[in-house]
């Protein structure tokens, strides 16, 4: 079967690696999509195990189109007879780029085409159920590329893990947290610190990864068995976030992660040693915040030097590329960068390592 997974634009290579590890045969990737071959068993496995994918979609058609009528023609050409006559369907549409129609137009036209196609093959009018359909047909237009497929994940994307009991004002998407951990090359035996942990998304994703608990297992509910040997520490400035984070951890049964109320600018006051720092710092996008961010990033990177072990690294994402790079240069870090699109915001994942450090 031809299948594709959706992810954040820029994370395709990371997601492709994950899918390959789980058994998919990657064909290509780009534009937040990873295309691969797999069977039904693997589709189930991916929906249960994948940490960096948002949706798994069986591809029915991909075509280049220029206008709305082309969508009708292309969709009408697809054989939808795999849908049982008693079942319902809904179209979920998405549009990226500049077009003279919107995504609701796409859904309407594609819905009409599906009904027409089904009537000619099965001589029956398919039922539409927008709230709780038996079949979700994804119709995505990415610039001029039309993708039509069956969504095997459902309306609730795989990023909705369901473990948060506290709503942070700026929580990190868990699929990005998992991608950060993959980029950082974290392994269960390494000491991990998130010095601005907020509600703890990176901490929880690490606890799950390090305990081999798939995200699907959390959605099922019930008791989880964690690897209590993991060395993971969270630091957060505000008490209410510390409390919220601790609530989420204790509900999951995680008692081995220490969450300290503290200031990331003085990291070495709370932590003596870290192999990896992985974090999602504030972006300081609001006016007047830049100088605060400059100071924060500078002091974080400076004090990190006192606790990072040999070959230690810092992985973080920020849209503040200039500030980060000038700070990192001043403090003799070298880095690799991965540009991604997060929401509508272009941000970069930086992995910083220490330049020219001599070790005793």
Residue among 138 and 168 whose Cβ is closer to ligand SAM: 168
Among residues 17, 134, 263, 337, the one that binds ligand SAM under rule CB under 6 A: 263
What does the alpha-carbon distance between residue 139 and residue 113 come to, in Å, rounded to a whole number?
12
Q: How far is the CB of 284 from ligand SAM (least distance, A)?
A: 10
Stretch that binds ligand SAM, among 75-83, 84-92, 166-174, 333-341 (CB under 6 A): 166-174
Are 180 and 349 spatial neighbours (Cβ–Cβ below 8 Å)? yes
Least separation in angstroms between residue 308's CB and ligand SAM is: 17
The one segment of 52-60, 128-136, 193-201, 326-334 that binds ligand SAM by CB under 6 A = 193-201
Residue 336 CB neighbour total at 10 angstroms: 12
Q: Count the residues of the shown chain that bind ligand SAM, applying the rule CB under 6 A.
A: 22
Give kind and range of the element (H or E) at residue 311: strand 308-318
Smaller CB separation from ligand SAM, 6 or 199: 199
Site string for ligand SAM, 289-308 (x = CB under 6 A): -------x------------
Look up tokens 């929906």; give the residue: 47
Closest CA to 161 of 31, 251, 41, 260: 251
Radius of gyration of the chain (CA): 23
The DSSP string of 72-114 is HHHHHTS--TTS-TT-EEEEEEEEES--SS-HHHHHHHHHHHH
Contacts with ligand SAM in 207-246 (CB under 6 A)? 235-238, 241
Q: What does the CA dihedral 34, 37, 38, 43 come to, rounded to 10 degrees?
A: 20
Give least dist CB 194 to ligand SAM, A.
Answer: 7
Query: Does position 179 bind ligand SAM by CB under 6 A?
Result: no
Q: Which of 10, 198, 215, 234 binds ligand SAM (CB under 6 A)?
A: 198
The answer to whether 355 touches 344, Cβ cutoff 8 Å, is: no
Binding site for ligand SAM (CB under 6 A): 168, 170-172, 195-196, 198-199, 201-202, 235-238, 241, 263-265, 280-282, 296
């Amino acid at each position: 079967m031809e299948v594709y997974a959706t992810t954040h634009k820029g994370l395709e290579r990371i997601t492709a690696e994950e899918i390959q590890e789980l058994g998919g045969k990657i064909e290509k990737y780009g534009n937040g999509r990873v295309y691969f071959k797999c069977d039904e068993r693997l589709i189930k496995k991916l929906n249960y195990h994948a940490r960096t994918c948002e949706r798994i979609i069986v591809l029915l058609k991909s075509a280049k189109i220029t206008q709305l009528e082309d969508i009708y023609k292309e969709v009408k050409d697809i054989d939808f007879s795999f849908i049982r006559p008693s079942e319902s369907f809904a179209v979920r549409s998405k549009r990226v780029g500049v077009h003279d129609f919107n995504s609701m137009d796409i859904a309407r036209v594609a819905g009409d085409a599906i009904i027409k196609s089904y009537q000619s093959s099965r001589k029956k009018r398919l039922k539409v159920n927008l709230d709780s359909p038996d079949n979700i047909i994804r119709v995505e237009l990415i610039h001029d590329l039309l993708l039509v497929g069956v969504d095997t994940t459902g309306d609730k994307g795989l990023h909705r893990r369901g473990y948060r009991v506290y709503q942070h004002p700026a929580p990190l998407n868990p699929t990005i947290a998992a991608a950060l951990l993959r980029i950082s090359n974290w392994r269960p035996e390494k000491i991990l610190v998130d010095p601005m942990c907020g509600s703890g998304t990176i901490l929880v994703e690490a606890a799950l990864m390090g305990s081999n608990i798939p995200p699907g297992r959390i959605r099922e509910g019930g008791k989880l068995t964690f690897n209590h040997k993991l060395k993971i520490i969270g630091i957060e400035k505000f008490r209410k976030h510390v409390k919220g984070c601790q609530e989420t951890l204790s509900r999951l049964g995680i008692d081995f992660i220490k969450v300290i109320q503290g200031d990331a600018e003085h990291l070495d006051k709370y932590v003596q040693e870290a192999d990896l720092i992985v974090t999602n710092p504030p972006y300081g996008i609001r006016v007047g915040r830049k100088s605060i961010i400059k100071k924060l990033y500078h002091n974080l990177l400076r004090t990190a030097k006192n606790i990072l072990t040999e070959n230690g690294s810092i992985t973080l994402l920020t849209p503040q590329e200039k500030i980060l790079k000038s700070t990192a240069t001043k403090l003799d870090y070298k880095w690799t960068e991965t540009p991604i699109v997060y929401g509508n915001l272009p941000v970069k994942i930086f992995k910083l390592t220490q330049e020219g450090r001599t070790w005793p």
